Amino acid sequence: MGKSQLDAFWMPYTANRHFKANPRMIVGAEGAYYLTQDGRRVFDGLSGLWTTGAGHCRSEISNAVALQLNALDYSPAFQFGHPLAFSLADRLADMAPDSLNHVFFTNSGSECTDTATKIARAYWRLAGSPSKTKIIGRVKGYHGASWGGISFGGITANKKLWGQGVESDYLRHTMLPGNEFTRGLPQSGAELANELEELIMLHDASNIAAVIVEPIAGSAGVIVPPAGYLARLREICDRHDVLLIFDEVITAFGRIGDWFAASAFNVVPDILNVAKQITNGTFPLGAVILKDKIYTAFMESGGDSHNVELPHGYTYSSHPVACAAAMASLDILEREGLIDRVKQMAPMFETKVHQLKGTPYVKDIRNYGFAAGITLDPYPGEPTRRPMEVGLACWEKGFYVRFAGDTLQLGLPFITTEAEMDLIVNAIGDTLKS
Ligand code: PXG
């Protein structure tokens, strides 16, 4: 492929000039491996982009997608329905904890962020509190690239170019000095949640609609919440009539050895966002799962039944092919017990990844389930360079290790074997030593 042919595609979140000078082309995939254009097999250490835990090119999903494309390839998302959308919504409502019983479909995590926060603001307006509009995010949070995503997210690089976003404020992140190299949940730091009280004192609850957090922050490098932190956020939200939104775009459907972080940590939000793993990455689909009280508020204040209760949605909301892909993907997770497998093997992964402690440049290691973040000592003034160098060297050795900001990230496929864990951890260790 000539260089000029690479110029047309402006690649997302990619160093385009660097990539195009030395492209890393992926042309196939099977199980936990990619096939590259130069004929190599590369272990998929991030399950795509946290999407493909059940492994690549699962025939159960491609068959379901092909059948659906031949039976009903598209149906209008507004004013008409197709049965599979209702079945999938039912299934998600059954899986989700507590009274999270209603599902609004989107196509991505970013659209979930916009949808959840728009609904939160409208909910308070319906409840007679129209001034409750501010959304509280968290430093180092990632909620997508939409205006909502960059407004409520807390990663500097994603915010600095765009100017004024949607009104918001931020909790501090939960990486406490002294908690480096904690295995699983840090035991100290739950009091960081009290900062929400301070933000509420500052802005007043009458101006705050919702708090949005990732239960475990993914993109910023697998930041695991201190034990008790999420429960305390829940308590404070309850006390002040603020909705709690969990962004489970990475944590839902197995990544942390449970269906949801909400169930793993026994803290139930008012709104729970999912995407990515819901279709095993095969087809864009997101879902916003909401408590009864929210759905009911819209139905009850909708006026005459011919009125649209929520003027919001996307052309591809509840796309029939996406729904078919999701059904087949959830079937695989259930039938093969993959979520239990992650739970059973997580302690082994923890032990292996923490063996990198003491390796040159390793400043911190965090982990939960089949996710781990490794913070590296930066070159002076160039925090992102070393992770990129290590990630690219691992790619050459046959391992996809995600690099972003000052960290390396692992999000192993749920089907990873013990031997593969050893190989990828050793590849990182050897690269750092050399
Ligand atoms: N919320 C969370 C928690 C996410 O992780 C989004 C929202 C946005 O989803 P969409 O589908 O609009 O991209 C995400 C996306 C990484 C990485 O390397 C993470 C994401 C995307 C790309 C890379 O950690 N998360």
Strands 168-171 and 134-138: parallel
* CA–CA distance, 6 with 209 (Å, rounded to integer): 44
Strands 26-30 and 362-368: unpaired
Q: What are phi and psi of 138, to 5 degrees?
A: -145, 140
* CA–CA distance, 266 with 85 (Å, rounded to integer): 28
Question: Which pTM does this prediction carry?
Answer: 0.98
Residue 32 is given by DSSP the state T
Going by CA atoms, what residue is nearest to atom 21 of ligand 1?
Answer: 49
* CA–CA distance, 289 with 96 (Å, rounded to integer): 8
Going by CA atoms, what residue is nearest to atom 16 of ligand 1?
Answer: 219
83's CB contacts (< 8 A; 6+ apart) are none
Instruction: Tell me if 249 CB under 6 Å of ligand 1.
Output: yes
Mean pLDDT of all residues belonging to the chain = 97
Instruction: Tell me if 217 CB under 6 Å of ligand 1.
Output: no
* CA–CA distance, 82 with 100 (Å, rounded to integer): 22
Per-position DSSP letters for 207-266, written without gaps between them: GEEEEEE-SSB-TTT-BPPPTTHHHHHHHHHHHHT-EEEEE-TTTTTTTTSSS-HHHHTT
Instruction: Tell me if 218 CB under 6 Å of ligand 1.
Output: yes
- Give residue for tokens 């909400």: 262
As given in the structure block, the two tokens for residue 387 are 């992770």
Going by CA atoms, what residue is nearest to atom 20 of ligand 1?
Answer: 219
- Ligand 1 centroid–CA 151 distance in Å is 15
Output the CA torsion sign for 176, 266, 152, 201. Answer: negative
Going by CA atoms, what residue is nearest to atom 19 of ligand 1?
Answer: 219
- Ligand 1 centroid–CA 142 distance in Å is 7
Rounded to 5°, the CA angle 23-25-30 comes to 155
Instruction: Tell me if 109 CB under 6 Å of ligand 1.
Output: yes
- Ligand 1 centroid–CA 168 distance in Å is 20
- Give residue for tokens 């591809």: 316
* Choice from 46, 49, 151 to test ligand 1 binding pocket (greatest atom count within 8 A of CB): 49
As given in the structure block, the two tokens for residue 165 are 């976003």
Going by CA atoms, what residue is nearest to atom 10 of ligand 1?
Answer: 109
Instruction: Tell me if 332 CB under 6 Å of ligand 1.
Output: no
Task: Collect the ranges in the chain with pLDDT lower than 50.
Answer: 3
- Ligand 1 centroid–CA 111 distance in Å is 11
* CA–CA distance, 132 with 135 (Å, rounded to integer): 9
Q: Are residues 52 and 280 in contact, defined by beta-carbon separation less than 8 angstroms?
A: yes
SS (H, E, C) 144-168: CCCHHHHHHCCCHHHHCCCCCCCCE
Instruction: Tell me if 44 CB under 6 Å of ligand 1.
Output: no
* Choice from 276, 283, 316, 412 to test ligand 1 binding pocket (greatest atom count within 8 A of CB): 276
Instruction: Tell me if 247 CB under 6 Å of ligand 1.
Output: yes
Rounded to 5°, the CA angle 251-345-142 comes to 20
H helices of 72-193, in order, are 83-95, 109-126, 147-152, 156-159
159's CB contacts (< 8 A; 6+ apart) are 150, 153, 165
Q: What are phi and psi of 172, to 5 degrees?
A: -70, 155
Instruction: Tell me if 108 CB under 6 Å of ligand 1.
Output: yes
- Ligand 1 centroid–CA 425 distance in Å is 24
Atom of ligand 1 nearest to the CA of 110: 12
* CA–CA distance, 89 with 94 (Å, rounded to integer): 9
Instruction: Tell me if 272 CB under 6 Å of ligand 1.
Output: no
Domains of the chain: 3-54+337-433 (3.90.1150.10), 63-335 (3.40.640.10)
Instruction: Tell me if 280 CB under 6 Å of ligand 1.
Output: no
pLDDT value at residue 5: 82
Radius of gyration, alpha carbons of the chain: 22
- Ligand 1 centroid–CA 430 distance in Å is 29
pLDDT value at residue 4: 64
